Each structure stands twice: as structure tokens, then as C-alpha cells.
Structure 1
Amino acid sequence: MSVAEPRRIVLFRHAKADWPQVSDHERPLAERGRMDAAEAGRRLADTAIPFDLALCSTAARTRETWKLAVHEFAHRPKTVYEERIYEASPGELIALLNEIPDDVQNVLLIGHNPGVHGLADILSGSAEGDVLSRMNRRGFPAAAFAVLLHDGPWKTLEPGTARLNDYWAPSE
């Protein structure tokens, strides 16, 4: 890894979930969510980011989103199912990212709103072109993802230290 090469953090919100009579943690994806998760996977694969690690919430809808999205990847990164992502605040998510070993260059975090959107906003000290205005205009709908760049070790990641590089959301 080159010191000049920034780390990439992709924040990926789970796809649209269904509302059956189960606990929130066990909600599955809706049919629309399954289609959007696969499309998001294709879009993530198109970024050509070589993910070293995927951190996925233990909730059913995030696990299902990840299963459908990663199917589109040429290489499956190491996946860790992390309970702390479920219902996490942006600060809790930063603390989790600060724990990543420095040999990990690119990470994908599959989580929930409002934490994922809040984290994208809080980390973004700058943005490429109109990416920030597009994200703020669309919000962070189900199956959306943001790509952020961070220079330095994971333990130095904090509010305002990343650049928002890309954003994608499914069409409505």
C-alpha cells in the first residue's frame, strides 16, 4: 500500500425491507429490495474497488442485502457480521471503523439509517463535484451507497477527515 493512496470506505444502506410480523432485527427484504440489492451490487462492482473487508450488521435485511450484492463481485472480501452496526449512531460507527487493522485498505460497511447517512455527512470534510449536493437532495434511501476517501490510519478517522467521492441510489 502506498502512503499516498487513500483508504476507501463505502457506506451501504440495506435495501428496502418488508414489514411482516417479526422483530425489527429479523425483517427480510421486500421484493423491490431484492432487486435493488442486486443492482447496488452491480454498481459497487463497477467501482472496481478491491474490498478487503465487509462489515455487515447482523440484522436479516442487511445480511440478505449483502448476500445479493456480493454475488455481483468478482472477488468476495472477508465478511464480518457485526452486532454493533445495528442501531449504531455515527459516533459508534466511527469507533468501529477506528478498530480496523491498518493492513485493510478498503472497507464496505452495510448498515442502517439514520446512522449510515449521518456517518457519510459527518465524515465528509469535502466532496468531489456535486456529489454532496446529490446525496443531500436524495437523502440516503434504501440500497444507496456513498464512497469516501480517507488519508491516514483508520484510528485517525474522525468527523471531517474524509472526502465524499461518489454516491449512488436506486431510481424510485
Structure 2
Amino acid sequence: MSVAEPRRIVLFRHAKADWPQVSDHERPLAERGRTDATVAGSRLADTGLAFDLAVCSTALRTRETWKLAVHELAHRPRTVYEDRVYDASPGELIAVLNETPDDVRTLILIGHNPGIHHLADILSGSSEGDARDRMNSRGFPAAAFAVLSFDGDWKNLEPGKATLTEYWTPSE
């Protein structure tokens, strides 16, 4: 793999959650969420990206989303469940990304809004086509994902350093 090849980040929001009488952290996916997570996984497979690492919030709905989505991928990446992703700000998420090992070229982060949407917007110094306009006009609905690329080391990833190359929602 060429050193000049850009790194890729997929920011993936958990699918639609249910609202039972449990703590927010323990909310499961709704029926629609289970369906959308599988569809999102299929669409992630269509991108052709081979994930080296998945970093997933410890919340039940993110773990369930990832469990359903990853079954659609040709290769199951190593998955790390990270408490700091739950209810994280963009700055906190960047700190998590900055700790990514250098051998990781493509990472998927499974998390929550508003952090995921804000992170995609903050990292994107540019975008391809209408990806940014669509993301910012539609918001970042459940089971949506954004693909970003950047050059350099993970420890140097900061606002404006990435290019938003793709944005997808389940309604597309």
C-alpha cells in the first residue's frame, strides 16, 4: 500500500432506536432500525472500502447497528468498543481518531448525533460534488454515513483537513 494513498474515515450514525423505559445508553434498535442497519451495511459494502478498524460506541443501539451492518461486508474488521464515543463532542471524537494506530488506512466510527454530523462537517475542508450540500440540507439521519479522506497521520487529523467524498442516507 502506497504511503501517498489517502486515509479514509467513515462516520456512521447508529440506526433508528426504540424508546423503551431504559437508560439512554441501553436503548435498542427499533424494527426500522434493524432493517436500515442491514441496508446501510450493504451500501457500505458497495463502496468497496476495506475497513482496517471499527471504533464503536458502547451504547446498545450502536453495537446492534454495527452487528447487523458488518455482516454485509466481505471482510470483518477488528472492532473496538469505546466508551468515549458515546455522547461525544466533535473535539472528543477527533481525540479518539488521533489515537488510531499508523497502520490503519481505513476506519469506520459508529456513533451518535449531533457529534457524528458535526464531526463530518468540521473535518471537511472540501467536498466532492454535492455531498456537503446534501449532508447539511438533510441533516444526518439514523443509519446515514459520510466518507472522508485525508492525507497524513491520524495524530495530525484536525478540522478542515479532510475531503467529504460521499454521503449516504437510507432514503437514497
TM-score (norm 1): 0.99
Q: Which runs of 5+ in 2 are unaligned?
A: none
| Aligned residue number for residue 115 of structure 1 | 115
Aligned length: 172
CA deviations over 1:114-150 (Å, ceiling 9, x no partner): 0000000000000001110011111000000000001
Residue in 2 that maps onto 1:160: 160
Match of residue 47 from structure 2: 47
- Equivalences for residues 104-143 of structure 1 within 5 A: 104-143=104-143
Unaligned runs of 5+ in 1: none
Once residues 41 and 104 of structure 1 are traced to their aligned partners in structure 2, the CA distance between those partners, rounded to angstroms, is: 20
Please tell me the residue identity of whatever aligns with 1:161: K
Aligned: 1:11 with 2:11: yes
Structure 1 segments of 4 or more deviating over 4 A?
A: none
Q: Distance in 1 between matches of 2:147 and 2:11?
A: 7
> Any idea what the Cα deviations from partners look like across 1:43-73, whole Å, max 9, x if unmatched?
0000010100000000000000000000101
Per-residue CA deviation, residues 17-66 of structure 1 (Å, 9 max, x unaligned), is 00000000000000000000000000000001010000000000000000
**Whole-Å Cα distance in 2 between the matches of residues 14 and 158 of structure 1?**
23
Q: Counterpart of 1:47 in structure 2: which amino acid?
A: T
Displacement of 1:171 after TM fit? 1.1
Q: Percent identity?
A: 79
Give the C-alpha shift of residue 3 in structure 1: 2.1
Secondary structure of the residue aligned to 2:12 is strand
Q: Which residue of structure 1 aligns with residue 67 of structure 2? A: 67
2:76 match: 76
Counterpart Cα distance in 1 of 2:115 and 2:2: 30
TM-score, normalised to structure 2, is 0.99
Partner Cα separation in structure 2 for residue 44 and residue 59 of structure 1:
21
User: Structure 2: how far apart are the matches of 1:87 and 1:14?
Assistant: 12
The residue identity in structure 2 corresponding to 1:111 is G
Match of 1:32 in 2: 32
Cα deviation, residue 2, structure 1: 1.2
Query: How big is the shift at 1:4?
Result: 1.6
Q: Secondary structure in 1 aligned to 2:122?
A: helix
